[in-house]
């Protein structure tokens, strides 16, 4: 899978992907991430990429010309499945969307800044607009990093344990159960006995039950009616 990213702070972006799981995915050739500096595509003096908005008002807007230059130049080499603009007024990103995007071949992410980007870019090039939550960030870069991380770890071969991505919180609309590792007793705090029993079906039952209890307590909004009924019965 290939993800191209257009940003005005490319060096900040690089650092997100230079470590841990995602760098391993890149080394293994499972994920290609390329970051492009919007300033390389401006014909304006001093690398100008933003300007005051028509109609007045505070805040600069990323200009149409450098963005269209960048998008059209990248489109010459790659057929994108989606051109995604990261913006607080986009559709909310969640696990289901990460799953769907992880099945695509080529994505182009556009990071906004300041007041946003000229609407004509959104109308004529962008195919999807995504927000990572109901709060405002100073730029789309952190949101892009969130999305690349969430997608990247789903790609086959990226995680060592093939099943673990499927066991995550949210994959089945349940939060993950608690986990423990050695030592079995620390300062008198014991690991639940069931986990030491070696009875795998009982352990799975316990984990499922813990997931449901956690979800009910912390995120009842995730439980659909069917799951709520299942909990009510137990
Ligand atoms: Cl994608 N961008 C910005 N600037 N702020 C956000 C966001 C994106 N998602 C939530 N807040």
Distance 91 CA to ligand 1 centre (A): 11
What's the pTM value of the predicted model, to 2 decimals? 0.91
Predicted local confidence at residue 115, as pLDDT = 86
Predicted local confidence at residue 132, as pLDDT = 98
Give yes or no for residue 188 having a pLDDT over 90. Answer: yes
Which residues sit opposite 189 in a β-bridge?
A: 186
pLDDT tens digit sequence for 28-37: 999 999 999 9
Nearest CA to ligand 1 atom 7: 88
Contacts for 158 with CB less than 8 Å, ≥ 6 apart: 21, 24, 25, 28, 30, 31, 152
- Tell me phi and psi for residue 62, to 5 degrees: -65, 130
Which domains occur in the chain, in start order? 2-152 (3.40.1280.10), 169-233 (1.10.1270.20)
**What is the Cβ-side half-sphere exposure of residue 13, based on CA atoms within 13 angstroms?**
24
Residues with Cβ within 6 A of ligand 1?
86-88, 112, 130-133, 135-137, 139-140, 143
pLDDT tens digit sequence for 57-113: 999 999 999 999 999 999 999 999 999 999 999 999 999 999 999 999 999 999 998
Give yes or no for residue 192 having a pLDDT over 80. Answer: yes
């Amino acid at each position: 899978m290939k993800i191209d990213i257009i940003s005005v702070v490319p060096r900040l972006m690089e650092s997100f992907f230079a470590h841990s799981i995602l760098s391993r995915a890149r080394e293994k050739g499972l994920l290609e991430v390329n970051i492009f500096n919007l300033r390389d595509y401006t014909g304006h003096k001093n690398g100008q990429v933003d300007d005051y908005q028509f109609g007045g008002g505070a805040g600069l807007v990323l200009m149409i010309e450098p963005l269209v230059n960048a998008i059209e130049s990248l489109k010459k080499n790659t057929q994108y499945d989606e051109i995604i603009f990261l913006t607080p007024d986009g559709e909310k990103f969640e696990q289901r969307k990460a799953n769907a995007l992880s099945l695509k071949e080529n994505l182009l992410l556009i990071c906004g800044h300041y007041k946003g980007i000229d609407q004509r870019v959104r109308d004529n090039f962008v195919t999807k607009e995504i927000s990572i939550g109901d709060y405002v960030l100073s730029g789309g870069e952190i949101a892009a990093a969130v999305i690349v991380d969430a997608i990247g770890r789903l790609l086959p071969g990226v995680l060592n344990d093939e099943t673990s991505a499927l066991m995550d919180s949210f994959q089945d609309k349940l939060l993950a159960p608690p986990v423990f590792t050695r030592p079995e007793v620390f300062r008198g705090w014991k690991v639940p006995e069931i986990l030491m029993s070696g009875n795998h079906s009982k352990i799975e039952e316990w984990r499922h039950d813990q997931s449901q209890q956690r979800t009910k307590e912390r995120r009842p909004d995730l439980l659909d009616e069917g799951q709520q009924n299942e909990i009510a019965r137990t």
